[in-house]
Amino acid sequence: MFNSSRHLARLSLIIMGAGFLATIPFQDSLIGRLLQGGFEAGIVGGLADWFAVTALFRHPLGLPIPHTALLPKNRDRMVTALVNILETNWLTKESIKEKIKQISITNKVLSVTQEKLGTEAAKKGIESILIYGIKQVNVEKVTPFIERKLKEYLASVQLASLLKNISDHTIARKYDEKLLDRLLAMIETWLKKENRSYQLGSVALQALDSMEFDGFLQFAIKSFRGVMSEEKLGNIIHSLLAGGVDSLKREDNPNRQALLLYIRKELQGIPENEKLIAEMEDFKLKLTAEWEPAGLINENLHKLKQLSLEKIQDRKLMDTYLMPYLEQMLSSLQNNQKQVDKIEDVVQNQIARIVEDNHAKIGKLVKENLDKLDNETLIEMMENNIGKDLQWIRVNGAVCGFIIGIGITVFKLFL
């Protein structure tokens, strides 16, 4: 486009020159004199504008005429002025911030994400990001960190507070009653098994035989031992135990209530037993210090890493769980305008901070890019962008000169 306009400008000058030469033989006639005056002025106007346009970029005809090649001579001043205009007029901090505020970045990002999320490309992209992220996890470096944090956490746990919470929850949810019922059921099941009466009697008689008594009590025990067999004594003990278990299973039984009350008092008293808590704290610290879970942590992290990679590459997980979750989360976020506004405020503030911190780099970047260009390249770029209009100045100069020349000739004829 620039070359065609330059050819047209040259053609207009050639036409004016050819016209002037062609009208010389006819300058005695009125038409000839008018045309010759027009072509003559057109030559002057075209040459004058050619000189002016050329003088902007280079020396006309290569001659070092004063006040020509204006752009190369004033390059530094022009670049400085351009950078100053960009920073203070066209691309000020305020104008950039104001323009960015007019763009709802969060809504646009959410809209595009919603549109592209279900595509195969998005799934592959999410899969690639997750796989890359998991592969970047260095288990050997993470293991000591987890071990240290785990030990720090265990060491910081206050046993008194923990035991109090356990005690309160146990009583509030009646775990003590459930535990007692479970224990009674186990005893009842044990008593129902075969030969329990004989075993109980045998143990009781062995205990009696191992005891030493004095005086009348020894005589009474021996008399009792002589008439009592393992089976008889066992049946008595079995009946007593079975009856006791059966009575303790009834919620309205006073013995049950008394036993539960005792258990609860003991549970509530554990957190207040300073000696016991101190011993447990010492034991906990010693156990934590001696505990070396690094191998177990490392092994499980490797398993978790491998399992995560396998699950992510399984499209069933992606289609059944991950994508629906992301879509639901995205939809929920879009419907929560208050949350969107909060995110938008954060984004706008971050962008404003970036603009504030890097605004000076705009002019610096422009200056650096311009400084990379030599004069010839810079002039060529300017001619390619604005040269078309400048060449039309030459055409207009020739045409206007032609018209003005005719006018001047007419004016001379009248005089």
pLDDT digits (tens, 9 = 90+) for 292-347: 999 999 999 999 999 988 888 877 777 888 888 888 888 888 888 888 888 888 88
Residues 393 and 404 in one domain: yes
- Would you state the pLDDT for residue 379? 67
Q: What is the mean pLDDT of residues 84-99?
A: 73
By the 8 A CB rule, do 362 and 87 touch? yes
Query: Considering only 153-167, 258-272, 276-290, 313-327, which range has the smallest mean pLDDT?
Result: 313-327
How many CB atoms neighbour CB 411 within 10 A? 10
Residue 303 domain-assigned (yes or no): no
HSE, side-chain direction, 13 A CA sphere, residue 197: 11
CA 62 to chain centre: 60
List the structure tokens of 390.
């400048």
Q: Place 4 in a pLDDT band, splitting at 50, 70 and 90.
A: low
Q: In terms of DSSP H, where are the helices of 314-359?
A: 315-317, 323-335, 337-358
Asked which of 233, 249, 265 is the last residue of a domain, the reply is 249
Report the predicted TM-score, pTM, of the whole model to 2 decimal places: 0.48
Residue 386 domain-assigned (yes or no): yes
The span from the CA of 333 to the CA of 354, in Å, is 26
Residue 121 burial (10 A CB sphere; 0-12, 13-18, 19+): exposed
pLDDT at residue 363 tops 60: yes
Residues 379 and 367 in one domain: no
Task: Give CA torsion, residues 17, 21, 27, 31, to 10 deg.
Answer: -50
Residues 196 and 234 in one domain: yes
pLDDT at residue 77 tops 60: yes
Asked which of 249, 282, 308 is the last residue of a domain, the reply is 249
Residues 98 and 36 in one domain: no
Q: Place 2 in a pLDDT band, splitting at 50, 70 and 90.
A: very low
Residues 49 and 10 in one domain: yes
Task: Between 15 and 383, name the one with better pLDDT.
Answer: 15
pLDDT at residue 247 tops 80: yes
Q: What is the mean pLDDT of the chain?
A: 80
pLDDT at residue 364 tops 90: no
What size, in residues, is the chain?
Answer: 415
Task: Between 274 and 219, name the one with better pLDDT.
Answer: 274
For the chain, the domain total comes to 3
- Would you state the pLDDT for residue 23? 82
Residues 56 and 97 in one domain: no
HSE, side-chain direction, 13 A CA sphere, residue 137: 18
The span from the CA of 387 to the CA of 379, in Å, is 10
CA 309 to chain centre: 21
Q: What is the mean pLDDT of residues 235-248?
A: 87
What is the domain range of residue 39?
A: 2-73+373-414
pLDDT per residue as tens digits for the range 170-222: 889 988 889 988 998 998 888 888 888 888 878 877 777 776 666 666 667 66
By the 8 A CB rule, do 388 and 2 touch? yes
- Would you state the pLDDT for residue 304? 92
Task: Between 45 and 89, name the one with better pLDDT.
Answer: 45
HSE, side-chain direction, 13 A CA sphere, residue 194: 0
- Would you state the pLDDT for residue 393? 66
Residue 318 domain-assigned (yes or no): no
By the 8 A CB rule, do 330 and 114 touch? yes
Residues 52 and 84 in one domain: no
Residue 126 domain-assigned (yes or no): no
What's the one-letter identity of residue 266? E
Residues 390 and 402 in one domain: yes
pLDDT at residue 373 tops 90: no
The span from the CA of 58 to the CA of 73, in Å, is 9
Compute the radius of gyration of the chain from its Cα atoms.
Answer: 51
pLDDT per residue as tens digits for the range 147-163: 999 999 988 888 888 88
Strand, helix or coil for residue 415: coil
Mean pLDDT: which of 68-72, 77-81, 90-94, 180-184 is highest?
180-184
pLDDT per residue as tens digits for the range 342-361: 888 888 888 888 877 877 77
Residue 284 domain-assigned (yes or no): no
